[in-house]
Copies of this chain bind each other. A is one copy, B any other.
Amino acid sequence: MGSNSNFGNKTFKDLFPYVDSSSPVTAQFLNEVANKGLKYITENNNRDTKVVNFKTPEELEKLIDFKVKEDPESLETILNEVDNILKYVVRTGHPRYFNTLWSGADITAVAGEWLTTSTNTSMFTFETAPVYIMMEKFMWNLMCNLVGFKNGDGIFFPGGSLCNIAAINLARFRFNPSIKEEGIFGQKRLIIYASEESHYSIMKGAALCGFGTKSVVKLKTDPSGKIIPEDLEKQIKESIEKGDQPMIVVATAGTTVGGAYDPINKLADITEKHNIWLHVDGAWGAPCMLSSKHKHFMSGIERADSLTWDPHKMMGLLQQCAFLLVKEKGLLHRCNSANASYLFQQDKTSYDVSYDTGDKTFVCGRRNDVFKLWLYFKSKGMKGVEEDINQCFANSRHLAAKVIERDGFELLREPECANTCFIYIPPRIAAMPKGEERDRELKKVAPMIKHRMTDRGTMLIAYQPLKEHLNFFRMINANPGQTFEDMEFIVDEIERLGKDL
């Protein structure tokens, strides 16, 4: 606690803007905070550090003084409480944190966020965020070129779910622009087609946009988890026969669980024929396009109408960084604009008001999510970014090879994106005859192993059921700082934690 005591009984009243144009206490306080952040990040990168020092909700309520008092608390007290909090935070930047579709903490992204914070702004107008608006413009050019959208456009949303929801809304607008004003009350049922393994935001979006979840037709997938194009043809035909209106097909590039890439070209053949919007949810898997080795998974992407991409997932860009690319420039604006006179004055004379981007979305203020993304690309160059992506993919394949080798482990699918799904069967259960009782026992294994790894804090990895599969582990390689040795550690540790079950 040493350095915190240097603050004596100073409080927020000793910080900007409560003191005049020089404030050594502000400098001391923010330096202290930056050092705590840096120390935390440094510990993350030591594999001997525990991933989590797990406490239950009830324990945390006792360990941390959450209560807000009537009077200010001293800066020393605040910083001591910060130290306390940092003890119990889950280390998602640790190379043994595998629990979610994002992990790691790219240092250039951390730098970008710290500067984003210091230069707080909102991305609705050029006059409020001139440099960052230009950065976004640059980024959409880069990304549209990569994808092959010759006259495309882009915008950040706070997360991939909202990108998908925005795409559904765009598809509806293109189908019938008068719906923006009239609503869908008098319409035929508008249909959204998506893989049975698609992300749940499609269901949530269907509900939010007024279609209802019943408007989502789930398409069958093959054993590798890809949409079967013939099923799409069949479902479209059935919709039309029922008097419904096909509106949008959502292909997934890198499914949440299995990491499958839907066959974009084959789906585009169908959507083009029927004049249906083709959206690709690449929230997780789109970064393969940055790798000459793996971009084939998304061949045909230039035929899509829109694409979701979350750099806060595989690229380590920190919550939140997600964007939607749209093939047809101008559509985002026509679909979402409300022309608020308090923000988008058309008689401004300092600059061309077409640089005001705020009316391209259904939100108003938008966080600056571009600075860190630009710094990431700028500092790594296209080659460095490609190496990051290749490392994530290589790790998932290395783990798959280890899983195949090792007794008691079974690989569920060959990896496409950087997911590796596998099951662990302890010797006692392996010896049981196949059947209901074995299944019942097997289903308990992954939750028990998860409980034990949480207690030990050695790593965190997710488990879940899917279709006919009982609880299995879903390994995600989102952090290029993870190594082949880390992949081997996973297999060893699961065996160590579960072999007696």
Contacts and interface: CB of A to CB of B under 8 A. Distances in A.
Contact of A184 (B23, B60, B210): B210
A110 interface: yes
A142 B37 CA distance: 28
Interface string A363-406: 11111100000110111111110000000000000000000000
B128 A212 contact: no
Interface in A180-200: 180-185, 187-189, 199-200
Interface stretch (A219-227, A292-300, A337-345): A337-345
A420 interface: no
13 contacts: A17-B45, A20-B45, A27-B38, A40-B119, A57-B351, A68-B374, A69-B382, A78-B375, A110-B118, A160-B364, A180-B212, A347-B444, A349-B448
Contact of A16 (B47, B200, B310, B481): B481
Interface stretch (A228-236, A323-331, A457-465, A487-495): A457-465
A134 interface: yes
A206 B460 CA distance: 41
A411 to B, nearest CB: 18
B38 A16 contact: no
B38 A30 contact: yes
Contacts of A36: 115, 118
A21 interface: yes
Contacts of A448: 349
Interface string A82-104: 10011011111101000110101
Given A16-B481, A90-B129, A120-B318, 5 more contacts: A12-B380, A88-B130, A99-B128, A158-B367, A349-B447
A225 B159 CA distance: 36
A15 interface: yes
A338 B31 CA distance: 43
Task: Please name the 10 residue pairs, one residue from A and one from B, whose CB atoms are nearest each other, closest first.
Answer: A210-B210, A17-B481, A183-B212, A37-B118, A158-B158, A34-B34, A113-B117, A200-B338, A21-B46, A66-B138
A15 B200 contact: no
B447 A348 contact: yes
Contacts of A134: 57, 60-61, 64, 66
Contacts of A430: none
Contact of A31 (B38, B105, B336): B38
A102 B73 contact: no
Contacts of A133: 57
Given A31-B34, A37-B114, A184-B183, A121 B383 contact: no
A144 interface: no
A299 B482 CA distance: 55
Given A17-B479, A184-B185, A362 B30 contact: no
Nearest to A110: B117
Nearest to A460: B127
Interface stretch (A161-169, A268-276, A431-439): A161-169
A120 B319 contact: yes
A407 interface: no
A240 interface: no
A423 interface: no
B128 A100 contact: yes
Given A78-B375, A118-B110, A211 B214 contact: no
A45 B444 CA distance: 58
A479 B17 CA distance: 9
Counting chain B CB atoms within 10 Å of each CB, the highest count among A66, A169, A179 belongs to A66
